[in-house]
Amino acid sequence: MQKEELMLQKRLIELSKTAYQRGIVTFSDFLNLNELNILHTTPKQAFHACYETFGGYDYSERQMVAFLPDALCYEKKYPISILKIEPLQKKFAEKLSHRDYLGAILNLGIDRCKLGDILVEEDYALIFVHKSLETFFVEEVTRIRHTNVMVSVETEMEGSYKPKVKEINGTVSSLRLDSLLALAFSYSRSKLVEYIEGGRVFVNGKLITSNGYQIKENDIISARGLGRFRFVGTISNTKKGRIYITIHLYV
Looking at the fold, whether 212 and 235 belong to one and the same domain comes out as: yes
Query: Residue 224 maps to which CATH number?
Result: 3.10.290.10
Cβ(64)–Cβ(157) under 8 Å? Answer: no
Cα–Cα distance, 57 to 64 (Å, whole number):
11
Span 167-209, pLDDT tens digits: 999 999 999 999 999 999 998 888 898 899 999 999 988 899 9
User: What is the helix (H) or strand (E) element at residue 120, kind and residue range?
Assistant: strand 115-120
- Residue 129 in domain: yes
Cβ(31)–Cβ(62) under 8 Å? Answer: yes
3-class DSSP assignment, residue 198: coil
Cβ(107)–Cβ(48) under 8 Å? Answer: no
- Asked which of 70-74, 157-161, 234-238, 242-246 is least confident by mean pLDDT, the reply is 157-161
Q: What is the DSSP letter of 70?
A: G
Average pLDDT in the chain:
91
User: What is the helix (H) or strand (E) element at residue 228, kind and residue range?
Assistant: strand 227-237
Whether the pLDDT of residue 155 is over 80: the answer is: no
> Structural domain of residue 173, as residue ranges?
165-250
What pLDDT is recorded for position 190? Answer: 81
Q: What is the DSSP letter of 92?
A: G
- Residue 160 in domain: no
Query: Residue 98 maps to which CATH number?
Result: 3.30.70.330
Split into its structural domains, the chain has a count of 3
What pLDDT is recorded for position 98? Answer: 92
Q: What is the mean pLDDT of residues 210-221?
A: 95
Q: What is the pTM of this model?
A: 0.84
User: What is the helix (H) or strand (E) element at residue 128, kind and residue range?
Assistant: strand 125-130
CB neighbourhood size of 17 (10 A)? 15
- Residue 159 in domain: no
- Label residue 159 by pLDDT band (50, 70, 90): very low
Q: What is the mean pLDDT of residues 146-156?
A: 90
Query: Residue 52 maps to which CATH number?
Result: 3.30.1370
Q: What is the mean pLDDT of residues 85-102?
A: 93
